[in-house]
Chain A
Amino acid sequence: MVMGVMEGSDALHPSQGMREVDKQFLAAPVKSAVDKFQLVPEFIKVRGLVKEHLDSFNYFITTDIKKIVEANNFVRCTFDDKVYLRYLKVSVGKPSVVKDGITDEMNPQQCRLGEMTYSAPICVDIEYCNGSYGHIVHPQVKKGVVIGRMPIMLRSSHCVLFGKDEEELAKLGECPLDPGGYFVVKGNEKVILIQEQLSKNRIIIDKDKKGCIQASIMSSTSMTKAKTTLVMEKEKIYLNLNSFTSKVPIMVVMKAMGMETDQEVVQMLGRDPQYAALLLPSMEDCSNLGIYTRKQALAFLDKKHRKWNNSNNSNNRKDDGGALGVLRDIFIATIQVKDDDFHRKCAYVVVMLRRMMDAYLNKDALDDKDYIGNKRLELSGTLMALLFEDLFKTMNTGLVAYSDNLLNKSSRSTKFDISQHISREDITNGLERSLSTGNWNLARFKMDKKGATQIVSRLSFIAAYGYMTKISPQFEKSRKVSGPRALQPSQWGMLCPCDTPEGEQCGLVKNLSLMTHVTTDEEEGPIITLCTNLGVEDLSLLSGEELHSPSSYLIMLNGSILGKHRRPQLFATSMRKLRRAGKISDFVSVHVNEKQRCVYIASDGGRVCRPLVIADNGVSRIKHHHMKELKDGIRNFDSFLREGLIEYLDVNEENNTLIALYEGEATSDTTHIEIEPFTILGVCAGLIPFPHHNQSPRNTYQCAMGKQAMGNIAYNQLCRMDTLIYLLVYPQRPLLTTRTIELVGYDKLGAGQNATVAVMSYSGYDIEDAIVMNKSSLDRGFGRCIVMKRHTAVYQKYANTSEQFSTPSRAPHDRERNQLLDNDGLASPGEIIRHQDLYFQKLVPENANISVNAHPSNIKYRPSRQTYKGAEGEAAVVDRVALCSDKRNNLSVKFMIRHTRRPEVGDKFSSRHGQKGVCGTIVQQEDFPFSERGICPDLIMNPHGFPSRMTVGKMIELLGSKAGVSCGRFHFGSAFGEPSGHADKVEDISATLVKHGFCYNGKDFLYSGITGTPLQAYIFMGPIYYQKLKHMVMDKMHARGMGPRQLITRQPTEGRSKNGGLRVGEMERDCLIAYGASNLIYERLMISSDPFEVQVCRKCGLLGYENHKTKAKVCSTCKNGDNISSMKLPYACKLLFQEIQSMNIVPKLTLADS
């Protein structure tokens, strides 16, 4: 991709360039930069931020599902072939719930609260014939048969939220800022992550492990999925195919496909003798094998053909026709062979050969696997389609098997009706299971994916967004290669350069940029017709020699050869013109590859693309009046697209363009102009003000931390019943905003507060990034947060009984314990609840397996209680109590328990620049420094945080916010926004500061609050947006003296949740040994762990015992108590001896006098 201004060429030919430009200047209207920013919000408005998910799912549910059903629409019984069933039509209805036989409309919020799946029925029209023992029966038609339930993606075209405005959404209990794009499965919000893959049906030339050049193609059709590889090993070229037991010389394959003479192959390869020379060793190899005819070649291949021993497979491949069948159906399956005409396939192989040889002659011709243009993103629709297809086929085979079984029976009581036996559970459960576990285990498609779905974490609003744009990698993380992790230049504008996790997943997990769109599959038929009309010579009409004739270019559509064209540039331009005119889809990409002498047309799904403004000879097509019309609401984004002012380009087509960043930088060669540069960042990186002034990893850290910041989750946050919700009591919108913040809605659902920060050293409790906080600020609500935890209780149902409500006793001695409980045994909302308080009580039948006949009064119950486990000494409040039925239809009670916390020493805070720190100490306001205006900071940050981190953006944020508060205008800090006015310049900010009586550099003259004397230096002070992160000491601090022990080893338990001990591990032990602190080791490893007194027999060295009653010490081996000594050793040690003894090994203790 070429970016920016072509300064070089202009400088070389100044006179020529000038003349050209001059002409245009005279012809074109006065050139002034048009502010195209308004397009971004417009784009977001029509598209939403997760359009790729919605589009993909919509495509599946409206188009793809029909294709799948149509492809497998006929089911015939093997027992009686008169019995059949044909699917005529399929459609997905509106989301609904069936309860007690009544179908009811349903909305997502109900599903979240009621632990249901948000799904819609899949209805089919069927035609079926029950055929009755030779009688001819007319086929019957049934309409609207439900074959299963399809989970519906929120905000998709089938969702009840589709097209609703804010008020209607509020009525449905939905947050208008929520992007949708996820599913609600059993009450959990699940998102299908975008999966990154190497593109299918494309030739990829690269090197294998041994350094041999190979051409591989992953062919995937609706029938088969196979990888074909051509390898060049020691100058000879072989074919590697799974169906063959070993590699096969390529010339043999060519001969088997009917190209019997070497001349034909060489001719197809092109006239250049160097290609023929490269093929020579392969030809020799073939003749050495003595293969000259097609018959011989096929016989040779038949021997290599892998026989499938598996009975299952041999059944399916009954008619595979040996090696010829493999060549026909599996070898480059994308090219379909009709009537044994292998011409197309041969041509394709030759093209692959030629590309390999190009790569051999010139290393630059190798393909880059990490290049985004060679990748496809698989979205929820594609994955759901695969899953549905598999389940649908399973259902049909199940139907056949069941019908066969029934028909096989000699006597049947009821009339056979095939339509009755369509199982709805298969599809419903299959879809639900895969969505909730994330396992896409489809044997049919050789697919075994784990972790394809994730729960949408509602830690913060931004975290939820982050899940929608996350792309999970194709490689396993263990690989220690840098290639796929590196930032790709082709990523520009498509994938966010900042947003990636740290650690092992670094660079592999990526996130989409703001304006990225992912395509869905497009019909190929019209494009082929169009190409032919535009003068593409069909491949079948070409002779072998013409294939690589230098005068024309190959035309490839979605990886297969369409034909040739003599004027490729003209062809590409006309295709693009047609696309801009709307004759073909916006997302069809046309790109001319001069090196490969090919024109690639792509209409397949999963390509990433983005909108760009079209420029003619460097003059933007968007003029001022267009933007004005947009402002007046006459236009929208779609009309810009329709009128050919804007178009979507994918990564490959970008290679044919010259994109100017700004209109002013465009030259006569420029073909496109960026809409706004900050759209190269994603949602999470878009929150950072002035990210282009920061050191790059800082932005990456912030992308990870923004997801942990507490704030508002959604407008419906108080109606949600999540397991854990973190909220901020007084969230604010950042004083220094960015355009992305406004577009995403972060200004409405903020996660932080504008704190006045003084950058200075104070008290010594601020080392290692710790911050000093002002106690009065905390008193007034700074950093105060609410933690809501869900506690659940269930009334279990048994065969004939069930657990019952219980009225708590109000007797004097019980009153205190039961004071939180209402008469139904549930804690009532608003009650203050402390550690160990009772919040739930029920009656459990003492005998669950009671007989049906038992009189209700005879069933005995005992009470069962649940107590609250929270931090000791803290008071929480029962916020809400909700009753609903759970998955097993038991009555379940959910308690939301709310705990309000003020910041304490050790809580974690962070600014928006990857600068996290814990609260080091809390200081009284009067001790804090103050300015003569009376300004006193909310927190003090140590200046040592700056030099090594180089977060200049944070300093500019401080300046900008300070100017913002003084003049009363929100300042902006969008990425790269200074030239276009979306970020305030430091000069302007300083001028504003000076205007309001501050120093231009943001430094203030402060007095010490302790002594009242002026501080030695001017202090850099102003507001910075601070986030409180979810890590709080209260949830982490842990200490124990005595406590619970494990049952078998009698050692202290492990982990905070079990009130466990702190382990002196091996390394700590080593230190103590090295130091010689033997008594400490003795104490830590035995006395405070698991001391145990044992009786040891000095004679046999085995353990004896002490008779509890007689106090006599006996050795059970020696049968006497003569030589018993008692000693202490760790219980675990004693256990080890006994375990060893059980294996018939005798451990003996030899005692010495101490």
Chain B
Amino acid sequence: MEGASYQRFPKVKIRELKDDYAKFELRETDASMANALRRVMIAEVPTIAIDLVEIEVNSSVLGDEFIAHRLGLIPLTSERAMSMRFSRDCDACDGDGQCEFCSVEFHLRAKCINDQTLDVTSKDLYSSDHTVVPVDFSDSSSGFENPEDQRGITIVKLRKGQELRLRAIARKGIGKDHAKWSPAATVTFMYEPEIHINEEMMETLSLEEKTSVVESSPTKVFGINPHTQQVEVVDPEAYTYDDEVLKKVEAMGKPGLVEIYAKEDSFIFTVESTGAVKASQLLLNAIEVLKQKLDAVRLSEDTVEGDDQFGELGAHMRGGG
């Protein structure tokens, strides 16, 4: 069995790029590739999140484990995460996860001394490592109008006399283990739609009929050119594959007026990051992780486990060995 080469050279075109948002096209590849990328971004790009909390004093209304859970979900800046070690395979500390190579220590001390309720927020967390800090939304472009109001993520509210004092240890992890380590808020893709309007047939329609076709789509895909009064595609990507236009056209008795296909090899990705990693970095890290995973598969090539694990796929990868 001689393995044919399935190698392709996908292209990426970036449409929009912000710190926590990216929109790009991925072309000349198939759904498996696109989905692998999506899955890795959600579940396997490592970040740092609080994993262990030692509570010294907690006289707040929330229980210890409640606060610990909330702390865990606070996104921490994790540019370092790729180079950090997992504490389970850290040699320096025998895996107990307290050393500088695999962990970051945080401290929180808050006490309410006046009559006003005190909001303890992520800004009250003091990190031992300046590269790993709670994500700050105040300066991001998509943030709030008045940065003064934005005090980070509320952990707990304290009333007079209540106190919270704790030590927290953040570790590297992946989203597969717990959602707190997932760097992605949203990762999704869609097939790029290809919309054909049969111009000749369209000419036969009255303006009213044209508007009804345009308005049949819940999203603004079509528009009428005010000058030429022609129906044209305004934003093909707004199309949600809802078939409403096609149904409308069918109902009008003009099948084939509009035809929509999904391009099988072209994807539009939307990536939103939690702020732990920049959206662009998230993509690069994902590709890196994906490569590592493929390497791991290739390295286990000759082993029996490899065969057991991958079965026919393994044989296929080896090129029909």
Q: Chain B, 242-284, contact with A by CB distance < 8 Å: what is the 0/1 string?
A: 1010000000000000000010000000101000000000000
Per the 8 Å Cβ criterion, residues 768-817 of A in contact with B are 775-777, 779-781, 784, 786
B240 touches A1005 (CB 8 A): yes
| Complex Cα spacing A465 to B220, Å | 49
Which residue on chain A has the smallest CB distance to residue B57? Answer: A830
Q: Report which of A779, A926, A931 forms a contact with B42, defined as CB distance below 8 A.
A: A926
Say whether, besides A997-B240, A999-B244, A934 and B186 are in contact (CB < 8 Å): yes
Size of A's binding interface in residues, CB under 8 A? 40
- What chain B residues lie within 8 Å of A784 (beta carbons)? 69
Q: Chain A, 995-1018, contact with B by CB distance < 8 Å: what is the 0/1 string?
A: 001111001110101111110001
Q: At the interface, yes or no: B201 with Cβ under 8 Å from chain A? A: no
- CB of B41 to closest CB in A, whole Å: 9
Q: At the interface, yes or no: B156 with Cβ under 8 Å from chain A? A: no
- CB of B239 to closest CB in A, whole Å: 10
B188 touches A1005 (CB 8 A): no
Say whether, besides A900-B65, A924-B43, A926-B43, A934 and B218 are in contact (CB < 8 Å): no
Say whether, besides A999-B240, A1012-B31, A780 and B179 are in contact (CB < 8 Å): yes
Say whether, besides A998-B218, A1005-B241, A1012 and B32 are in contact (CB < 8 Å): yes
Q: At the interface, yes or no: A729 with Cβ under 8 Å from chain B? A: yes
B240 touches A786 (CB 8 A): no
- CB of A560 to closest CB in B, whole Å: 60
B240 touches A934 (CB 8 A): no
| Complex Cα spacing A932 to B268, Å | 9
B176 touches A999 (CB 8 A): no
B188 touches A932 (CB 8 A): yes
Q: At the interface, yes or no: A655 with Cβ under 8 Å from chain B? A: no
Q: Chain B, 132-146, contact with A by CB distance < 8 Å: what is the 0/1 string?
A: 000000000000000
- CB of B115 to closest CB in A, whole Å: 14
| Complex Cα spacing A1000 to B35, Å | 28
A925 touches B38 (CB 8 A): no
B242 touches A999 (CB 8 A): yes
- CB of A721 to closest CB in B, whole Å: 16
- What chain B residues lie within 8 Å of A1013 (beta carbons)? 31
| Complex Cα spacing A779 to B32, Å | 27
Per the 8 Å Cβ criterion, residues 176-202 of B in contact with A are 176, 178-180, 182, 185-191
- CB of A107 to closest CB in B, whole Å: 21
Per the 8 Å Cβ criterion, residues 753-778 of A in contact with B are 775-777
| Complex Cα spacing A877 to B63, Å | 9
A877 touches B64 (CB 8 A): yes
| Complex Cα spacing A506 to B54, Å | 52
Q: At the interface, yes or no: A930 with Cβ under 8 Å from chain B? A: yes
Q: At the interface, yes or no: B73 with Cβ under 8 Å from chain A? A: yes
Most buried by B among A830, A931, A932: A932
A900 touches B66 (CB 8 A): yes
Q: Report which of B35, B55, B187, B270 forms a contact with A1011, defined as CB distance below 8 A.
A: B35
| Complex Cα spacing A994 to B220, Å | 10
| Complex Cα spacing A779 to B272, Å | 19
A877 touches B65 (CB 8 A): yes
- CB of B53 to closest CB in A, whole Å: 12
| Complex Cα spacing A231 to B191, Å | 85
Say whether, besides A925-B179, A1012-B32, A997 and B219 are in contact (CB < 8 Å): yes
- CB of A959 to closest CB in B, whole Å: 14
- What chain B residues lie within 8 Å of A672 (beta carbons)? none
Q: At the interface, yes or no: B97 with Cβ under 8 Å from chain A? A: no
- What chain B residues lie within 8 Å of A786 (beta carbons)? 63, 66
- What chain B residues lie within 8 Å of A930 (beta carbons)? 188
Say whether, besides A926-B42, A926-B43, A1000-B218, A900 and B179 are in contact (CB < 8 Å): no
A776 touches B187 (CB 8 A): no
User: Which label, helix, strand, loop or mixed, suits the secondary structure of the B interface?
Assistant: mixed
Size of B's binding interface in residues, CB under 8 A? 41
Which residue on chain B has the smallest CB distance to residue A776? Answer: B179
- What chain B residues lie within 8 Å of A999 (beta carbons)? 218, 240, 242, 244
- CB of B242 to closest CB in A, whole Å: 5
Q: At the interface, yes or no: A933 with Cβ under 8 Å from chain B? A: yes
Say whether, besides A779-B180, A932-B189, A997-B219, A1012 and B35 are in contact (CB < 8 Å): yes
Which residue on chain B has the smallest CB distance to residue A1000? Answer: B218
Q: At the interface, yes or no: B175 with Cβ under 8 Å from chain A? A: yes
Most buried by B among A780, A924, A926: A926
Q: At the interface, yes or no: B111 with Cβ under 8 Å from chain A? A: no
| Complex Cα spacing A777 to B240, Å | 25
Q: At the interface, yes or no: A277 with Cβ under 8 Å from chain B? A: no
Q: At the interface, yes or no: A898 with Cβ under 8 Å from chain B? A: yes
- What chain A residues lie within 8 Å of B39 (beta carbons)? 926, 1009
Q: At the interface, yes or no: A993 with Cβ under 8 Å from chain B? A: yes
A924 touches B64 (CB 8 A): no
Q: At the interface, yes or no: B164 with Cβ under 8 Å from chain A? A: no
- CB of A810 to closest CB in B, whole Å: 21
B262 touches A1014 (CB 8 A): yes
A830 touches B240 (CB 8 A): no
Per the 8 Å Cβ criterion, residues 906-933 of A in contact with B are 924-926, 930-933
Which residue on chain A has the smallest CB distance to residue B73? Answer: A780
A933 touches B188 (CB 8 A): yes
- What chain A residues lie within 8 Å of B66 (beta carbons)? 729, 786, 900
B65 touches A718 (CB 8 A): no
- CB of A880 to closest CB in B, whole Å: 11
- CB of B132 to closest CB in A, whole Å: 21
Which residue on chain B has the smallest CB distance to residue A786? Answer: B63
B38 touches A926 (CB 8 A): yes
| Complex Cα spacing A1004 to B218, Å | 12
B178 touches A779 (CB 8 A): yes
- What chain A residues lie within 8 Å of B182 (beta carbons)? 776, 925
| Complex Cα spacing A804 to B191, Å | 75
A775 touches B179 (CB 8 A): yes
- What chain B residues lie within 8 Å of A1003 (beta carbons)? 242
Q: At the interface, yes or no: B61 with Cβ under 8 Å from chain A? A: yes
| Complex Cα spacing A1052 to B125, Å | 55
Most buried by B among A718, A877, A1004, A1007: A1007
- What chain B residues lie within 8 Å of A933 (beta carbons)? 188
A1011 touches B190 (CB 8 A): no
| Complex Cα spacing A1014 to B176, Å | 23
| Complex Cα spacing A1135 to B43, Å | 63
Q: At the interface, yes or no: A1090 with Cβ under 8 Å from chain B? A: no
Q: At the interface, yes or no: A499 with Cβ under 8 Å from chain B? A: no
A1011 touches B32 (CB 8 A): yes
B187 touches A934 (CB 8 A): yes
Q: At the interface, yes or no: A189 with Cβ under 8 Å from chain B? A: no
- What chain B residues lie within 8 Å of A877 (beta carbons)? 63-65
Q: Chain B, 19-58, contact with A by CB distance < 8 Å: what is the 0/1 string?
A: 0000000000001101110110011000000000001001
Say whether, besides A775-B179, A781-B69, A900-B66, A925 and B43 are in contact (CB < 8 Å): yes
- CB of A1015 to closest CB in B, whole Å: 10
| Complex Cα spacing A1007 to B61, Å | 42
B35 touches A934 (CB 8 A): no
Most buried by B among A776, A898, A933, A1010: A776
Which residue on chain B has the smallest CB distance to residue A831? Answer: B64
Q: At the interface, yes or no: A904 with Cβ under 8 Å from chain B? A: no
> 30 A-B residue contacts at CB 8 Å?
A729-B69, A775-B179, A781-B73, A786-B63, A786-B66, A830-B55, A877-B63, A877-B65, A900-B66, A925-B42, A925-B182, A926-B42, A926-B43, A932-B241, A932-B270, A993-B218, A994-B218, A997-B219, A997-B240, A999-B218, A1005-B241, A1007-B35, A1007-B190, A1009-B39, A1011-B32, A1011-B35, A1012-B31, A1012-B35, A1012-B38, A1013-B31
- Ranked nearest first, the 3 interchain pairs of A and B with the lowest CB-CB distance are A1012-B35, A934-B186, A779-B179
**Chain B residues at the A interface, C-beta cutoff of 8 Å:** 31-32, 34-36, 38-39, 42-43, 55, 58, 61, 63-66, 69, 73, 175-176, 178-180, 182, 185-191, 218-219, 238, 240-242, 244, 262, 270, 272
Having A729-B69, A1005-B241, one finds 11 other A-B pairs with CB under 8 Å, namely: A729-B66, A781-B73, A786-B63, A830-B58, A924-B176, A993-B218, A997-B238, A998-B218, A1007-B190, A1011-B31, A1011-B35
